[in-house]
Structure 1
Amino acid sequence: MSNSKKIISIVTLSVVIGWIGYSFWSAYQPRPELLQGQIEAEQYNISSKVPGRIENIYVKKGDMIEKGQAVFSLYSPEIEAKLAQAKAGEAAASALAEEAEQGARTQQVAAAKDQWRKAKAASQLLEKTYARVNNLYKDGVVAEQKKDETYTQWQAAKYTESAAYQMYQMAKEGARTETKRAANEKVKMAMGSVAEVEAYVADTKIDSWYQGEVSQVLLNEGEIAPQGFPVVSVIDMNEAWALFHVREDKLKNYTKGEVLKVYLPALDRTEDFKITHVSVLGDYATWRATDNSQGFDLKTFEIEAHPVNPISDLRVGMSAIVTVESK
């Protein structure tokens, strides 16, 4: 055999041996672990505080909406009727309060004054009558009984005059302070009822409290929307994060504030995510026991990591992969 063939054989044998050795070495090297999670985001449900029939829906699935943008409106004749009723109650309360403030009418004051003058004139007449009867009694012309009757009539007339005068004064002064205050408080109560119903009316025109993308439109125009039932769902991808479930024996490798390299298969790129939350409450998972002889199971803990930089085209439910090198 020539020297060149020997060299080729030796080289070939060395390569084969080296490949076999490398294969065995690689097979026994610890492989990196993959921590798989998914993308989550803030989701908001837009609903109304009052029930009603859907009149208009101004958005559709996939629309980007801003805070304050009109989303849907309700038709509710019952609320309109309640508003009319509340406004009528407010008007009635205001009229009663105005009456209490202004006091009795001019004609009522004049009538009370005339009643007082009438009672006064009757009292003066009976006073003179008693004086005459008393003189006749002293002269022995009339009996003592007649004198006593006339005196009693005079005193009764004086009390009638006093009562009529008090009624006249009450008519001039008007309602008591407590009555006026009570009337004014009733006006405030009626105004509060009107404001409450007006708030319900305003809530039939629903604007978004959030910005984001419409993910679901759960009711259509003409359908009945119960109180508090979500009509439109909005997802804000500006408030997105990656959610991972970490076994408790691996939890020590993840600390709040740490930056992870997260691979997003759907976007085929790796992005930086910062751990912002490590759950304080663990959940059971279907992991094997760490040691069958000890017989205890491991729990998992949720870890949330937010993107360090905004990521375009990010979607809820995308897989998020973290490669954990074995130590």
Structure 2
Amino acid sequence: MKRAFTILFLTIISISCNKPKNGNVIQGKVENEQIAIVSKIPGKLIKILVKEGDLVHKGDTLAILDIPEVDAKKSQAEGAVISAKAQYSMAVKGATENQLKQLEAKKMGLKEQLEFAKKSINRLSNMLKDSLISQQTFDETFAKYQGAQAQYNAVLAEIDDAKKGGRMEQQTMALGQQERAYGALKEVETADQERYIIAPQDMSVETITLNLGELALPGYTLFNGFISNSTYFRFTIQESKLSNIKKGQEITISIPYKNKTIKGVITTIKQLSAYGNIATAYPDYDMQESLFEVKITPKNISESKDLITKTTVTISL
């Protein structure tokens, strides 16, 4: 028990010695907006084109995935497009030249049959008047004439359809199949582009989570980094000192490790949602007080571009 009291006493002394002597000086941290780059489709990591610490620009390729399933689907989609285009072309253009020749030959044959049937009717009509044939014989010949006439009219309509193309409904259906095939191909091409992991904006690469040959699953973070020109300063301030600050206020930030100061503007004041988010070392506050996070952005972003994230900065209130 005596040893426990000794350890507690030494800990309190250590904390007290580390507090800033000037009660008006508040410590904070240099922060940068973070960014995580994930994969959209599963694939094996076959190339990593950057290393930790690199500065990359928007549109730069960071890594390449191997996705064999997409290659297979792309071949299928390209075949479907070729087939659909041919179907639509056939529906619009109609019959081929050889098919038209066959229909013309069929028309000539039916035309000869129709002319023969017509001549037969004319002859039998006179014979029927002279009672040389029966009415039954004439009716049978007349039925054959009507059949030849119907067949000839049918082939004329068939030739007309062949020259004009398929029905409008058939053309619309074929066009729909073609558009569907193009849509499937575009979907596969979009998925194929996902094999390239692209930087969404200027950033610094801080961590690379996978090694070559490992499988990247959908939604898995491949790269973590900081967005370029997104530096800001984060402080934890107790409720009793909120009267000394306000949003939009200009304030001077001291950077001890650089031995310089820069101007900043208070952009955000919000209550801390968790104790673990405290940015100020040893905040001196009453347990009943609420803690607030104060975000300060530099007036001239170029002055903060070389600052190291998580280093200590101070302000005076």
Q: What is the TM-score when the length of structure 1 is the normalising length?
A: 0.76
Residue 149 in structure 1 maps to residue 140 in structure 2: yes
Q: Which amino acid aligns with 1:87?
A: E
Contact 2:90 2:165 in 1 (8 A): no
Q: Which amino acid aligns with 1:228?
A: G
Residue 116 in structure 1 maps to residue 97 in structure 2: no
Contact 1:137 1:144 in 2 (8 A): yes
For 1:316, the equivalent position in structure 2 comes to 309
For 1:52, the equivalent position in structure 2 comes to 43
Q: Which amino acid aligns with 2:316?
A: T
Distance 1:157 1:208, change over 3 A: same
Distance 1:203 1:247, change over 3 A: same
- Larger CA Rg, structure 1 vs 2: 1
**For 1:231, what is the secondary structure of its paired residue?**
strand
Residue 255 in structure 1 maps to residue 231 in structure 2: no
Which piece of structure 1 moves more, 249-258 or 181-190? 181-190
Q: Which amino acid aligns with 1:140?
A: S
Residue 82 in structure 1 maps to residue 82 in structure 2: no
Distance 1:267 1:82, change over 3 A: same
Among 214, 232, 235, the residue aligned to 2:223 = 232
Gaps of 5+ in 1: 1-30, 290-296
**For 1:60, what is the secondary structure of its paired residue?**
coil
CA distance in 1, matches of 2:158, 2:306: 85
Q: CA deviation at 1:104?
A: 1.0
CA distance in 2, matches of 1:252, 1:283: 21
For 2:127, the equivalent position in structure 1 comes to 136
Q: CA deviation at 1:164?
A: 1.7
**For 1:53, what is the secondary structure of its paired residue?**
strand
**For 1:43, what is the secondary structure of its paired residue?**
strand
Q: Which amino acid aligns with 1:317?
A: K
Contact 1:112 1:171 in 2 (8 A): no
Q: CA deviation at 1:298?
A: 4.3
Residue 40 in structure 1 maps to residue 31 in structure 2: yes
Contact 1:101 1:174 in 2 (8 A): yes
Q: Write the deviation string for residues 184-203 of structure 1: whole angstroms up to 9, x where unpaired.
A: 45434433332332232222
Which piece of structure 1 moves more, 168-177 or 217-226? 168-177
CA distance in 1, matches of 2:158, 2:61: 62
Among 233, 236, 257, the residue aligned to 1:245 = 236
Q: CA deviation at 1:283?
A: 4.4
How large is the RMSD of aligned CA atoms in angstroms? 2.7
Which piece of structure 1 moves more, 213-222 or 228-237? 228-237
For 1:14, the equivalent position in structure 2 comes to none
CA distance in 1, matches of 2:200, 2:312: 29
CA distance in 2, matches of 1:47, 1:114: 67
Q: CA deviation at 1:223?
A: 0.3
Q: CA deviation at 1:182?
A: 4.5
For 2:174, the equivalent position in structure 1 comes to 183
Seq. identity, %: 28
Q: What is the TM-score when the length of structure 2 is the normalising length?
A: 0.79
Q: Which amino acid aligns with 2:57?
A: E
Q: CA deviation at 1:163?
A: 1.1
Residue 103 in structure 1 maps to residue 90 in structure 2: no
CA distance in 2, matches of 1:252, 1:96: 76
For 1:160, the equivalent position in structure 2 comes to 151
Count how many residue pairs are aligned between Structure 1 and Structure 2: 286
Q: CA deviation at 1:284?
A: 7.4
For 2:14, the equivalent position in structure 1 comes to none
Q: Write the deviation string for residues 147-203 of structure 1: whole angstroms up to 9, x where unpaired.
A: 222222222221122112211222232334554454345434433332332232222
Contact 1:40 1:242 in 2 (8 A): yes
Q: Write the deviation string for residues 41-81 of structure 1: whole angstroms up to 9, x where unpaired.
A: 11112233222000011222222223333311111111111
Q: Which amino acid aligns with 2:269?
A: V
Which piece of structure 1 moves more, 259-268 or 157-166? 259-268
Contact 1:241 1:304 in 2 (8 A): yes
CA distance in 2, matches of 1:176, 1:165: 16
Contact 1:285 1:299 in 2 (8 A): no
CA distance in 2, matches of 1:166, 1:236: 71
**For 1:234, what is the secondary structure of its paired residue?**
strand
For 2:198, the equivalent position in structure 1 comes to 207
Gaps of 5+ in 2: 1-21, 277-284
